Amino acid sequence: MHLRINGSRVTRAALPVGWHVVAAASILAVAALTVGLSACSDTSRASDAEPLCIDGALPIGERTPLIDAVCADPPSALSAAAEQQQRANADAAAASAAELQRRDAITIVTCGTGTPIPSDRVQACTAVFVNGLFLLFDAGDGAQRSMERSLLPITEIDAVFLTHFHSDHIADVGEVISRSWILGRTAELPVYGGEAVQRVVDGFNAVYALDDKYRETHHGEDILNSRVEPAVPHTIDDPGAEGRVVFERDGVRVTAFRVNHPPIEPALGYRIDYAGKSVVISGDTTDTASLRGMSEGADVLVSEVMSRDVLEAVECALKRLDDPRNARLIRDIRTYHIGTTELAGLAQNARVRTLVLTHQVPSFDNDDPRVELLLAAPIRAIYSGELVAAQDGQRIVVELE
């Protein structure tokens, strides 16, 4: 059966529900502009012999008839282009997943290195791929789109860990839950966090409940079962400064520990251990004994960082500009983050092999040279290990012996 819209025959490709559909759809949309739609000449019902002509508004609540696309053989130029694009996207996704899921390395992807301070950086997001597991730490604004751009296998996220509930660490949690499901996640998605994680996750689940039902009703529960979508909260009881193992699978151990980010209680950091290698996620914190201890001998410390010099300069500038409100906000920020000098000393004393700067305060754009000048250089002056002033989407690979 054919579907004719305004007199033009349209082949609706039977595309799988997947992230690559977006790319194909844009090609189809652009191509459609060149087709040149003619006026509808036939308003009769569809039949095998005569395509359905839809010419005019549908009553509210009535769907366009559900008809499979007629796939010509050989395919139309448009469909052939779509096939090529689909194949290229699938190949790229498979290659990316294979690289990330290597069993002989741990790969860290800095999917978001920004903060609430406006810049082109995505907010907090760090993905760790270890022994076939995909562990996500925080999901601030833009995290989901950043992960899709970086071709992370988001339908296979094994667990999300939240450091604390500031918006720049959780704003995209709902999208991570929803998109991973829409794109094909069929397993439960656990979300770990401190005491209020149940409230936060229940909130996102409630917000997306209508969307879940819409999609299930539209596409069918065999493809999108709304029971799979909601995330499952896992409360981490106070792990103290000494930390406690909160996740253990296939030889991978995740330890949560308290960090210092007052007045936020609790604020957590995480340490991932596997095959004698370790990756530490600082969360938001000042210099504090727990982070020092947990970073001891770490292969990678993914840490937040702040330039006190810049913030003090901005605060003074705002005062001169008679903007006491913003001057105070900037002053307050200085009280609960770790400065470049303190971080450099911590990493040096803890013998951290690679220090990755994320959650950069202030957040300059990804390729702004001031990152090197104002954040990295002061650290290099003290810390002798490898320093990565991370950009969004950067991959750091730890080879296993």
CA distance 177 to 159: 11
CA distance 307 to 376: 10
Nearer to Zn ion, 86 or 144 (CB): 144
Please state the closest distance from residue 218 (CB atom) to Zn ion, in A.
36
Query: What's the number of CA atoms in the CB half-sphere (13 Å) around residue 234?
Result: 13
Please state the closest distance from residue 115 (CB atom) to Zn ion, in A.
5
Contact 161, 137 (CB under 8 A): yes
Please state the closest distance from residue 356 (CB atom) to Zn ion, in A.
16
Nearer to Zn ion, 100 or 267 (CB): 267
- The helix (H) or strand (E) run that includes residue 249 is strand 244-249
Footprint of Zn ion on 29-58 (CB under 5 A) = none
Nearer to Zn ion, 284 or 315 (CB): 284
- Single out the residue of 166, 185, 215, 337 in contact with Zn ion (rule: CB under 5 A): 166
Piece in contact with Zn ion (CB under 5 A), picked from 3-11, 160-168, 241-249, 378-386: 160-168
Please state the closest distance from residue 166 (CB atom) to Zn ion, in A.
4
**DSSP labels, 169-185:** HHTTHHHHHHHHHHTT-
- Single out the residue of 138, 141, 158, 168 in contact with Zn ion (rule: CB under 5 A): 168
| Dihedral Cα 176, 362, 373, 299, nearest 10 deg | -40
Please state the closest distance from residue 123 (CB atom) to Zn ion, in A.
7
284 part of the interface to Zn ion, by CB under 5 A: yes
- In eight-state DSSP terms, residue 218 is H
| Count of residues of this chain found to bind Zn ion when the rule CB under 5 A is applied | 3
CA distance 375 to 116: 17
Please state the closest distance from residue 141 (CB atom) to Zn ion, in A.
11
Nearer to Zn ion, 230 or 269 (CB): 269
Piece in contact with Zn ion (CB under 5 A), picked from 62-70, 166-174, 313-321, 393-401: 166-174
- In eight-state DSSP terms, residue 243 is -
Convert 64-79 to b/e letters by CB count within 10 Å (16 or more is b). eeeeeeeeeeeeeebb
Nearer to Zn ion, 130 or 314 (CB): 314
Nearer to Zn ion, 52 or 162 (CB): 162
Instruction: Supply angle C-alpha 256, 259, 263, rounded to 5.
Output: 125
Which residue ranges make up the site for Zn ion (CB under 5 A)? 166, 168, 284
